[in-house]
Amino acid sequence: MSGTLTEPVRIYELAARSTVVDEFLDFSDLPRLAAILVPEKVEDCSVRVELVVSRADESVAVRGHLEAALGLQCQRCLCPMLFRVDHDFCWMLSETETRPGTLPSEFEAILLEDCRAEGIARGEGRDTTLKLAPLLEDELMLQVPFAPTHDEEACKATGDAFAARPVDGETAHPFAALAALRKKPD
């Protein structure tokens, strides 16, 4: 099913048919993620998405898997690096908030009302259309580390640059004066 991830889809219709989606996403459809990629590695970058969309009572269950290769900048040596993402997720799309404890623990609740407020969903009830790419982009952005780094053996920065160095000279003891006061006779 081509274009399911980038075009608005009738999410309840996909769920009624228990739709399976297996597509690659282009970074032009993921502008926030594309903004953090380094140009030197863009040709090596890819995002593959597998989804199973099904009904769950009055809600829509989405079970998914993301595989991505992202060209990021190592924050240790500042050279380009390829960061791999292999991530499973489960969403429960719903019109109403679920009561605590009723949602299986592996699912993240997503309110369609919130999606409408963000402009990625339109319509009401069974006529709701939803853009999946922004939700998938959010899921990918959560997998990117705050400070990506190469493995130590692959990093061009030397290990000595980050090793703790012994302090030369005598170490100051800020409470030594208190110990001296305690020893003085009254």
Annotated domain spans of the chain: 9-162
Over residues 129-156, the pLDDT tens digits come to: 999 999 999 999 999 999 999 888 878 8
> Under 8 Å CB-to-CB from 46, ≥6 apart: which residues?
24, 67, 68, 69
CA 109, CA 95: separation in Å to the nearest integer?
10
The 10s digit of each residue's pLDDT in 61-116 is 999 999 999 999 999 999 999 999 999 999 999 988 877 678 888 999 999 999 99
- Nearest residue to 109 via CA among 59, 45, 147: 59
% of the chain residues with pLDDT over 70: 89
- The pair phi, psi for residue 121, each rounded to 5°, is -135, 145
Q: How far apart are CA 85 and CA 96, in angstroms?
A: 31
Nearest-CA neighbor of 54 among 41, 65, 45, 63? 63
Q: Is the pLDDT of residue 1 over 60?
A: no
- pLDDT higher for 157 or 24? 24
Contacts of residue 127, defined as CB under 8 A and 6 or more positions apart, other chains included, come to: 10
| Residue 160: pLDDT band with limits 50, 70, 90 | low
**Is 3 a residue whose pLDDT tops 80?**
no
45: helix, strand or coil = coil
- Across the chain, what does the average pLDDT equal? 87
Instruction: Dig out the tokens for 104 from the structure.
Output: 């299986």
pLDDT at 158 over 90: no
pTM of the model: 0.79
Residue 165 has pLDDT above 80, yes or no: no
Question: What phi and psi, each to the nearest 5 degrees, are found at residue 165?
Answer: -105, 140
Give the closest residue to 37 by CA, choosing from 71, 11, 7, 60: 71
Average pLDDT over residues 36-41: 84
